[in-house]
Structure formats: structure tokens, C-alpha cells
Structure 1
Amino acid sequence: MKWSGIALLALSAVAQAAVSARDGDGHELTLDKPAARIVSLVPHATELLFAAGAGSKVVAAVDYSDHPEAAKKLPRVGGYTGFSLEAVLRQQPDLVVAWKDGGTPREVERLRRMGIPVFISHPLQPDDIAAEIVKLGKLAGTEAAANRAAAQYRQRFAELRQRYAAKPKVKVFYQLSQTPIFTISGKSYIDSLIRVCGGVNVFGELAVPAPQVSTAAVVAAQPQAIIAGDDATLAMWQSWRSVPAVAKGALYALPGDEISIPGPRLADGAAALCGRLDAARRQLGLTAN
């Protein structure tokens, strides 16, 4: 009995040991013990936490945190434009996960001054998703589940890269909105997905992640495939028959948030995008070398 008691105490000490992870801002965050009450201030972080096996520890989230299904039942503390400091404090969190580009730096800094640990999520590329799943799993004490989820995610991308590496390149215009026309540059993670699928982003060289472009610029770029979120957006190009994508009927809707939210479902979004570009190859009559 004596040795059993000592062993249990040792195991308990290990379970309560301090945990550390470097966040998306480059700050090393250390908790005295794994977080038990976590508030997520951005939908993609909610998905990352659930993927990391920490869903039962998430006590509140923001609007549009609706995946997985259990996330819909969480109390709301705000939305994209901001959060209620009082609502967050009522949850007595021992970890808050915020977004670098969330537009609430002052409120986040106030949380820090109150002694509440904040992890900044800032996935810029598809591989960052897996890395953040692992880090959040470490902070939540769910490393085994997080490592499994990250490995599965990485494997799916490895398979996509292998499958499409030798495919003929397709010049792609990825349209975010209709009026005005916004697209993505090489600074967007969606550009990485296009490259995984064997595509070339026609506006990849622009300076900002989501640049505004003109109709004339799109026509001049001569994309071979146009991807947008819905058919209504694609319809605006039907009269531009000088564009190869229009002439060949390579206009594809890619609805849903799998590709628009930088979370674990990004692998699903990438697979769907790759399918659209393969369809474009068939429309264009392209064959592998």
C-alpha cells in the first residue's frame, strides 16, 4: 500500500507538471499545469482545440464556432469584431486562445495584465495547422490525442502532394468576392493549397494576402480555371469568352467553410480544391507528361 500511494503521488505530480508552448506571436507560454478551462476567441481555434482532444475543456467560444457539433452548445463571449471582457472573466479561464488578426489587441492585452494566460493562434500555412494542434494539446494536457490528429492531418496533405505533384499546371484565379473583386496572393494559405493541387495562382505575386483587383486585370491574367464560393459570383464572367477558363467552361464553385477557416478541416477543403482543378484539366484537355 505504501509504495502504491507513493506511485500515485508521483503520477499526480507528473499530471500537474508545468507545460509550455510557443504561440503564433513567438511568445513562450508556460502554465503551471495543463489548462482545464479554455475560452476560444476565434472559430478556427475552437476547431483546433477540439481536434487536439481538448473539446471538453473549452468552456466558451465566439460566434460562428459551430464545428464540431458540440461547439454549437458553448456559451458565446463575442464575435469577429470583439469580445466581452466580462463574459470571458465569468468563465474563469486558465487559458484563452486568441487570434493575431482578430482586431482586439487591447482587450487581449487587458486579459494578460489580469494574469490570464493567452495563446495567440496565427496559422499562416497549412503545415501550421498541425503544429498548433500539437501545441494546444500540450497546453491542455491532451498530447496523445493531439499528436494523432496532427499526424492524420499531415498524412492527408502528404498524399495530396504526392498525387498532384506531376499533374500539368493550371493557372488559377481564386475569387473571394464579386463587388469589389477580391482575390488571394501568395501570402494567403489558400495559395499554398492551390500549389498543393498543382495550380498556379495568377495573382500570387501581389503584396497583400487578399488584394483587390479589377475585371481588366483578371482578363489580362488569362486564368485557365476560376474558383469562387458560389455560382452567382462565377456568373459575372460568362460574357468574357477571351478568358480560357470561361471559353472551356472551367468555372467551379467551392462552397463551405472547409477552405475558408484555417483549421483541421483544411485538408477536406484542399481535397475539394484539387478535385476542381483536376476537372479543369479535363476541360482544358491537359494530360500529364
Structure 2
Amino acid sequence: MKFYTYLGISLLSVMFFGQAHANVTDTPKPRIIALAPHIVEMLFDIGAGAQIIATTEHADYPLAAKSIPKIGSSVRIQLERVIELQPDLIIAWQSGNPSDDLARLQQLGFKVVYSQPDTFADVAKELRLFGELTGHKVQAERIAAQFLTDLANIKQHYADKPLITGFYEVWSRPLTTVANSSWPQQFLALCRIENPFQHVNTGYPQVNIEQVLQANIQVVIQAFAKKQANSNGYNWQQWPLLPAVKHQQLLMLDADVVHRMTTRSLQALQDLCQQAEQSRSYYQQLKD
């Protein structure tokens, strides 16, 4: 009799704890509106892509992101659509979404979390944050750790390379480059590319061609989106006295990768560093 009683209690215990465990693992994951392409991409990285119920235009990676409904842009968010969808969480780009719309959403009671990755280290931090918020903590930690390991390896590989002087073209009309507070400047620094405009106060300064010609630029870096024609870039060939033009050292990057603050940015970093190393070798051969 004691055996059956004990067995009954044991079975009840198994049923109770089994149900408790099921309740924990079956906790519904939040339905998310992600208001920037880099946010969408990072959510897919950590396994939370299926939880995204809406996003904004230009969220096109990975392929599955193209089918997610678009409810706005960097200029305006369709507030009525947000209200209709009733998300559990809104992840917004602090410097890339309209602040008045975000303030209104918070007033309406929606939970808004802000994303603002300004450095590679910030990407890892946000991956971990998104993992906490979405129920994908383990995968987020794994992806963030791998990202930081890959970044450290690239840093170590190029740390002692000789400097080469470069100009990063953000926009051609007006001619615009990068400085210390910009996202691309860290690419130049890690690839050992000296930026003569690095210490300008604004992150994306406008410059004139005379300033560029005076800087003895050895490489010009141009970033174009796949759907963007290269003809949109500055016509450097009209300045053959510039070393980068004279020696045809124009480096090309995929703007959709290099300008998006995600794990893929390390692909662009590696690409730029490799191209810069080829240019170094070219100039070294000229000296020899």
C-alpha cells in the first residue's frame, strides 16, 4: 500500500513538474515590429525572424525579410497599422526613425526599445539584448561571441600593417566623406587606412576636390548598393594626378553590407582590409 501511495505521489510530482516545465518552455515569444533593416537582420541572426510582424522599407535581408509587411520608412511610420497589429514589442532605430511617431507610440502604451549600434562592439551588445527580449538568449550569446572572436582575429591580422592614405566616398554630390564619429571610420582604422579628414567635427563632412587633391590619397573607397549604378559615384578619372587615380587604386564595397550595422559588416571589413593590402603591395613594388 505504501508502495502504491509512493508511486502515486511520484506520478503526481512528475505530472506537476512536467506541466510546470512545459509552461516555461511554451511561453509565447513576443510579436515584434522592427523599424530598421539592421534590426531585422540581427533578429534573424538570433533566430527571432519569425516573430517579426512588420518592418520598414529597405529591410531586404535575409530573403525571408522581403515578405514581411512594410509599415513605414525613415520619414514616417504608419501609426494606424501599428495600432491594428498590436505588437508586444517595437524595436526602433534611435537616430533613424521619426522621433515624434515613436513618442506617440509610447504614449499609446506600446513597449519601445531603441537600437543605436555605433560600433562593432555595439552590434554584439544589441545581439545579446535582442536575445533577452525575444526569448533567444542562448543563440544570441553564441552569435555575439563568434562575432567578437572574428572581429578580434581581423584586428590582430592587420594591426601591424603599414598605413596607407585613403578617401572614403559616402556621396558624390556634394562630395561627402567620413570622420571619427561615423560608422565607416572604424573600417578604415582597423584596415590601417589613414583618413586625412578623420578629425573633422562632423561625422560625415562635405569636402571639396581641392582638399582631397592636397592629401596625397593612395586609395579611394567607393560603396555602392547592388541596385545602385556605379555612375552615381564621383568621377575620379578626371583627376589623374591623384595617386589613387594614376595607379587605378579604386576600391569597391557593397554598401548594403558595409553601411548596415549587423554581423555581415565583418564581411565588408575583411573585404576592405584585403583590398587595402593589395594596394599596399602594389605601392611597395613601385618603391622596389
Do the structures match in fold with TM over 0.5? yes
Aligned residue for 1:4? 14
AA at the equivalent of 2:211: A
If you compute each CA radius of gyration, which structure gives the higher value, 1 or 2?
A: 2
Which one has a larger percent helix, Structure 1 or Structure 2? 2
TM-score by length of 1: 0.87
Q: Is the 8 A contact 2:239 2:245 kept in 1?
A: yes
Structure 1: state its 5+ residue gaps.
17-32
SS in 2 for 1:212: coil
Aligned residue for 1:68? 62
* Whole-angstrom CA distance in 1 between matches of 2:181 and 2:275: 22
* More divergent stretch after superposition (34-43 vs 58-67): 34-43
* Whole-angstrom CA distance in 1 between matches of 2:251 and 2:72: 34
Cα drift, residue 35 of structure 1: 4.7
Alignment deviations for residues 65-111 of structure 1 (CA, whole Å, 9 cap, x no partner) = 11011111101111121110111122210100111112411110111
Q: 1:222 aligns with which of 200, 216, 221?
A: 216
* Whole-angstrom CA distance in 2 between matches of 1:187 and 1:129: 16
Cα drift, residue 10 of structure 1: 4.0
Q: Is the 8 A contact 1:125 1:192 kept in 2?
A: yes
Structure possessing the higher relative contact order (Cα contacts under 8 Å, 6 or more residues apart): 1
Structure 1 ranges of 4+ moved more than 6 A = none
Trace 1:1-289 onto structure 2 (pairs within 5 A): 1-11=11-21, 14=24, 35-230=29-224, 231-232=230-231, 236-285=235-284
Structure 2: state its 5+ residue gaps.
1-10, 225-229
TM-score by length of 2: 0.88
SS in 1 for 2:256: coil
1:214–1:125 distance in 2 versus 1, CA, 3 Å = same
Percent identity, aligned pairs only? 31
Q: Is the 8 A contact 2:131 2:140 kept in 1?
A: yes
SS in 2 for 1:64: coil
1:6–1:286 distance in 2 versus 1, CA, 3 Å = farther
* Whole-angstrom CA distance in 1 between matches of 2:44 and 2:99: 24
Matched pairs, number: 271
1:214–1:47 distance in 2 versus 1, CA, 3 Å = same
Q: Is the 8 A contact 1:229 1:253 kept in 2?
A: yes
SS in 1 for 2:128: helix
* Whole-angstrom CA distance in 2 between matches of 1:11 and 1:181: 59
* More divergent stretch after superposition (192-201 vs 122-131): 192-201
* Whole-angstrom CA distance in 2 between matches of 1:273 and 1:50: 25
Cα drift, residue 34 of structure 1: 7.3
Q: Is the 8 A contact 1:34 1:139 kept in 2?
A: no
* More divergent stretch after superposition (63-72 vs 270-279): 270-279
* Whole-angstrom CA distance in 1 between matches of 2:136 and 2:220: 41
